[in-house]
Amino acid sequence: MIGTIVNAVAIIAGSIIGLLFSRGIPEHYKVTVQNGVGLSVVMIGVKSALVADNLLVVIISIVVGSLCGEIARIENRLEQLGTYLETRVAGKNGGNTDSTFAKGFVTASLVFCVGSMAIVGSLESGLTGNHQTLFAKSVLDGVTSIIFASTMGLGVIFSAVAVFLYQGAITLTAVFMKGFLVHATIQEMTSTGGLLILAIGMNMLGMTRIRVGNMLPAIFMPLLYFALKQLLS
């Protein structure tokens, strides 16, 4: 869990720096920087999505995972959580789910959580005790959180909680499921996560409005697939 703790602290530190400098940055600079980050997120998503060998598993994972997420209304719940945090911390009207606070919380949480480094790093941490990938991710997330916080505000800092819970859960799961987490499983999970990162980047650029939060269960569908396959064989 050391890697996850360092990651969460890096996001908090980066967000504080971003908030301190946000008022001195002209709005048109913020828009340009955010578009640049959006393009970078798209590139990361494309690169991660192309690692899979079994595209059918990825496609089925996206479809089944999206259905599960829609039923659970994950994105709505994330937005409600962001709005609740806003009412408690920022003292604003809790009925506006399109607020900057909620948007910052949801966007940052998704970007930091669904990346391949989050999955692979957490798995490495749980399987081998190697935290190097998460340490590297901490540096990247810290820098990104500076940009996010300067453009989307206070909500970004609370994404550290989401990262801690998400990556911590994967790390603990890896400890108990070492037999199922073969290379192929990690590869398909990474590819599925890459598609979600691509969707996040497209949302950030205003190209579309994909409910990425509702697709989060798709990341874990390859794990379920390979676990069932191993049990049946």
pLDDT in tens, 140-176: 888 889 888 888 888 899 999 989 998 998 888 877 7
Tens digit of pLDDT for each residue in 66-114? Answer: 999 999 988 888 777 767 766 766 555 444 444 678 788 888 888 888 7
Read off the pTM: 0.69
* Cα separation, 81 vs 66, whole angstroms: 20
What are the angstrom distances between the C-alpha of 120 and each of 3, 46, 134, 151? 12, 17, 9, 29
| pLDDT computed for residue 14 by the predictor | 92
